[in-house]
Amino acid sequence: MEIDAKLLKKLEELKKQLEGISGQKIDASPEQLIPLFFRVSLLSSEDGVIMSRSFIFPGKSCSQASALPANLFDVSSRSSTGANGKAVFLLSDFICSTINSFAEPVNVVVTPNATTPCYATMTHVLVPNPNVPGAFNDLQITVFTFKPNGTAAPNVSFDWRCRLLSIQIIL
């Protein structure tokens, strides 16, 4: 879509107003602001094979995820670090499901979108479910961006992808 200078200025003002109302930075292009709703993330879910090892017995055990009942979640989106070169977010902010149970193994990949050289690292931690001991209902992801000299790289946009085990909750 072609956006003229007049519309672009209006959309930039709209973005500032929406950020003021929501109290958070909105990471959206002018084209994404036009319909007031924009795509944030993609999620796919599929059956898989879970391979486990025992602390006591040698060897490995394999089972279909669909038999547990569990499946593999694959979520991807885009975000950006703040002025301190850091972003912290929850997986639940990017999926429609509100009742979750997640487990290791978790794999997160972060790719910076930058015209100047920078690096991105990340950590993740499963968030305990306060209502179910030993269960985890969310995943917290923390992303750090750095310049080649090792100092924090502020306001870097990045793509991320997370794949993890989702245990189906049967009510």
pLDDT tens track for 104-113 = 999 999 999 9
Q: How confident is the model at residue 36 (pLDDT cuts 50, 70, 90)?
A: low
Q: Which residues of 114-152 are buried (b: 16+ CB within 10 A; e: fewer)?
A: beeebebebebebbebeeeeebbbbbebebbbbbeeeeb
Quick check: 9 pLDDT over 50?
Answer: yes
pLDDT at 120: 97
By CB atoms closer than 10 A (0-12, 13-18, 19+), residue 45 is middle
- Taking all residues of the chain, what is their mean pLDDT, rounded to a whole number? 87
Mean pLDDT lowest for which of 48-52, 53-57, 158-162? 48-52
pLDDT tens track for 125-150 = 999 999 989 999 999 999 999 999 99
How far is residue 169 CA from its own chain's centroid? 21
Which of the pair, 54 or 86, is modelled with greater confidence?
86
Quick check: 1 pLDDT over 50?
Answer: no
Which of the pair, 169 or 160, is modelled with greater confidence?
160
Quick check: 171 pLDDT over 60?
Answer: no
